[in-house]
Chain A
Amino acid sequence: MKSSVIIFPGSNCDRDMDVALKKFGFKNQMVWHNDAEIPKSDLIVLPGGFSYGDYLRCGSIAAKSKIIKSVVEFANTGGLVLGICNGFQILTETGLLTGILQQNKYQKFICKNVHVKINDKENKYFKNIKKEILSLHIAHNEGNYFCSENELKFLKDNNLIAVTYCSKNGNESEEYNPNGTLKNIAGIFNKDKNILGMMPHPERMIDKYLSSNDGSFFFENLFENLK
Chain B
Amino acid sequence: MKVNEKIAIDHGLKKEEFNKICDLLKRTPNLTELGIFSAMWNEHCSYKSSKVHLKKLNTKGKKVIQGPGENAGVIDIEDEDAIVFKIESHNHPSFIEPYQGAATGVGGIMRDVFTMGARPIANLNSIHFGSPRHPKTKNLLRGVVKGIGGYGNCIGIPTVGGQTSFDESYNGNILVNAMTLGLVNKNKIFYSKAAGINKPVIYVGSKTGRDGIHGASMASAIFDDKIEEKKPTVQVGDPFTEKLLLEACLELMSGKSIISIQDMGAAGLTSSSIEMASKGNLGIELNLNKVPCREKKMSPYEIMLSESQERMLIVLENGKETEAKKIFDKWNLDFAIIGKTTDTKKIELFFDNKKVAEIPINILAENAPVYNRKWKKTKLPQKIKFNKIIYKKLKITEVLKKILGLPNISCKEWIWQQYDHTVMGDTIQKPGSDSGVIRVHGTNKAVATSVDSSATYCYAHPLTGGKQVVCESWRNLISCGSKPIAITNCLNFGNPEKEKNMGEFVECVEGINEASKFLDYPVVSGNVSFYNETKDKGIKPTPTIGGVGLIKNYEKMITMNFKKNENLILVVGKTEGHIDQSVFAINILSEKKGPPPVINLFNEKNNGETVLKLINGGFIESAHDVSLGGIITAVSKMAIKGKKGFKLNKLKVLINKFDYYFGEDQGRYIIEIEQKNLSKVQKILKDNSVHYDEIGNVTENKVIFDKEPILHIDDLIEFNKHWLENYMDN
Contacts and interface: CB of A to CB of B under 8 A. Distances in A.
Interface stretch (A7-15, A95-103, A169-177, A184-192): A7-15
Interface stretch (A36-44, A105-113, A123-131, A157-165): A105-113
B616 to A, nearest CB: 18
Interface stretch (B223-231, B419-427, B509-517, B573-581): B419-427
Contact of B238 (A53, A110, A112, A141): A53
Contact of B423 (A12, A52, A55): A12
Given A52-B240, A53-B240, A139-B422, A12 B156 contact: yes
A50 B243 contact: yes
Given A54-B240, A108-B417, 20 more contacts: A9-B331, A9-B332, A10-B240, A10-B244, A12-B156, A12-B243, A16-B423, A16-B425, A34-B330, A50-B154, A52-B240, A53-B241, A109-B149, A109-B150, A109-B419, A139-B422, A206-B425, A209-B439, A209-B554, A210-B425
Interface of A: 9-10, 12-13, 15-16, 19-20, 34, 48-50, 52-55, 108-112, 137, 139, 141, 201, 203-204, 206, 209-211
A53 B425 contact: no
B420 A139 contact: yes
B244 A9 contact: yes
B237 to A, nearest CB: 11
Interface residues of B, number: 32
A109 B415 CA distance: 10
B428 interface: yes
Contacts of B332: 9
Nearest to B416: A111
A53 to B, nearest CB: 3
Contacts of B554: 209
Contacts, number: 83
17 contacts: A10-B240, A10-B243, A12-B154, A34-B330, A50-B239, A50-B243, A53-B154, A54-B154, A108-B146, A108-B417, A109-B150, A111-B153, A137-B422, A139-B422, A209-B428, A209-B555, A210-B422
Contacts of B418: 108-111
Contact of B420 (A54, A108, A111): A111
B329 to A, nearest CB: 11
Which of A10, A16, A201 neighbours the largest number of chain B CB atoms within 10 Å of its CB? A10
B425 A111 contact: no
A12 B238 CA distance: 15
Contacts of A110: 417-418
Given A50-B154, A206-B425, A211 B420 contact: no
Q: Which 10 A-B pairs have the closest CB atoms?
A: A12-B156, A53-B240, A16-B425, A139-B420, A50-B154, A209-B428, A109-B418, A204-B422, A111-B420, A109-B149
Contacts of A111: 153, 416-422
B430 interface: yes
Contacts of A206: 425
Contacts of A49: 156
Contacts of B424: 15-16
A50 B240 contact: yes
Contacts of A19: 425
Given A10-B154, A12-B156, A55 B240 contact: yes
A13 B428 contact: no
Contacts of B331: 9
Contacts of A10: 154, 240, 243-244
Contacts of A211: 422, 430
Given A111-B417, A210-B428, A204 B423 contact: yes
B155 interface: yes
Nearest to B159: A111
Nearest to A50: B154
B256 to A, nearest CB: 23
Interface centre among B331, B421, B423, B430 (most CB of A within 10 A): B423
A222 B417 CA distance: 30
B423 A109 contact: no
A210 B420 CA distance: 14
B270 to A, nearest CB: 28
Nearest to A201: B422
B563 to A, nearest CB: 15
A203 B424 CA distance: 9
A60 B676 CA distance: 60
Contacts of B427: 210
Contacts of B240: 9-10, 50, 52-55
A207 B153 CA distance: 22
B419 A203 contact: no
A15 B554 CA distance: 21
B162 to A, nearest CB: 13
A53 B422 contact: no
Interface in B212-248: 238-241, 243-244
A139 B153 contact: yes
A12 B424 CA distance: 8
Interface in B398-438: 416-425, 427-428, 430
Interface string B580-611: 00000000000000000000000000000000
A172 B409 CA distance: 33
A203 B421 CA distance: 14
Nearest to A112: B417
Nearest to A49: B156
A211 B330 CA distance: 36
A18 B659 CA distance: 54
Interface string B659-685: 000000000000000000000000000
B146 to A, nearest CB: 8
Nearest to B332: A9
Given A108-B418, A109-B418, A112-B417, A13 B244 contact: no
Contacts of B428: 209-210
A180 B78 CA distance: 47
B239 A13 contact: no
Residue of A12, A111, A210 most packed against chain B (CB within 10 A) = A111
Contacts of B238: 53
A204 B417 contact: no
Nearest to A14: B156
Contacts of B154: 10, 12, 50, 53-54
B133 to A, nearest CB: 23
A10 B242 CA distance: 9
A15 B157 CA distance: 12
B441 to A, nearest CB: 8
Interface in B142-158: 146, 149-150, 153-156
Given A9-B332, A112-B417, A211-B430, A139 B149 contact: no
A112 B432 CA distance: 13
Contacts of B416: 111
Contacts of B425: 16, 19-20, 203-204, 206, 210
B423 A139 contact: yes
Nearest to B247: A9
A219 B419 CA distance: 26
A105 B340 CA distance: 53
